[in-house]
Structure 1
Amino acid sequence: MHCRNAILAVLLASGVSTGAPAADRSFGIWRNPSGSVHVRAEPCGKAMCGVVLWANDKAKADAARGGTDPLVGESLFQDFRQEAPDLWRGRVFVPDIGKTFSGTIRVIDANHIEGKGCLIGRVGCRSQIWTRVPPPK
């Protein structure tokens, strides 16, 4: 459940882009509100993708129960397309239930993004604020 809430919040997204995304405030390493998952958001072709770089033991166990093992290395943000300067729309894979959903990601500021998504239509919608992970010193 813990990982599901974190990932659902990340139901980020992107819009329609004609080329590869330029350097963007949405790129980088982000942690969910509970700090249980870190995802690297980066360009992938004409879109943005996000791969799990790190997860705590509980998030890994939740994902394994959902059929995703290992969690680290899994692509959670898939084919996000830029819709506006700070808005992306795409698909998010929720590993602890093994399903993919549509969502959006909105850049709030240089260190925060808001992920929103709904399980089915406008039912089961969630939103979370993710925080940028600073680069190592």
Structure 2
Amino acid sequence: MGQAGTNGPGGRRWRVIATAGMALLAGNGAAAAQGNEAVYGVWSNAKGTLHVQTAACGEKLCGSVVWATDKAKTDSLKGGVTHLVGTQLLQEYRRTGTNSWAGRVFVPDMGRTFSSRIQRLPSGELKISGCLVGGLICKSQTWHRVP
């Protein structure tokens, strides 16, 4: 058996396979980015006390507070957050399926980060869930897009 060098027939075959594989991976990355665009923007939490802007953070999704009521700012002090606006609440979300992402959510008034899921609902709203104990105890909120 001969060695498949980069210049022989086997080498060309590997280059074609590698090129096709890289094109597929690039296509999947572009598709994931397009899917994430559905959740990019400014969102209001359920109580209307926070506005969070979601955007790409490298290849992942994240979201930071861009506006907060005085009450939300005061509540965040309980968790040790002195500057709520600018705080990243949604951290390192990766796409897990159609209209769903998994990552971590920081809860300012508790000063803690929890495992989390985001689901884009058919209505266009976002359902944000934060979970304790390996997902056994979860709370969720529905967020609305800010016009």
* TM-score bracket, shorter-length normalisation: 0.7 to 0.9
* Equivalences for residues 96-107 of structure 1 within 5 A: 96-107=109-120
| Greater RCO (CA < 8 Å, at least 6 residues apart) | 1
**5+ residue gaps, structure 1:** 1-17
Q: Cα offset for 1:64?
A: 1.1
| TM-score normalised by L of structure 2 | 0.74
Q: Cα offset for 1:93?
A: 0.7
Query: Distance between the aligned counterparts of 1:29 and 1:81, measured in 2?
Result: 19
Query: Distance between the aligned counterparts of 1:62 and 1:73, measured in 2?
Result: 16
Number of aligned residue pairs: 117
| Aligned counterpart for 2:64 among listed residues 51, 54, 63 | 51
Equivalent residue letter for 1:48: L
Q: CA RMSD in A?
A: 1.6
Q: Higher helix fraction: Structure 1 or Structure 2? A: 2
Equivalent in the alignment of 1:92: 105
Whether contact under 8 Å (1:77, 1:91) holds in the other structure is: yes
Whether contact under 8 Å (1:25, 1:110) holds in the other structure is: no
Task: Provide the identity percentage.
Answer: 45
| Aligned counterpart for 1:22 among listed residues 20, 33, 41 | 33
**5+ residue gaps, structure 2:** 1-27
Equivalent in the alignment of 1:5: none
Post-superposition Cα deviations, 1:31-65, rounded to whole Å, max 9, x if no partner, equal 01110000001001010010000010111001012
| TM-score normalised by L of structure 1 | 0.79
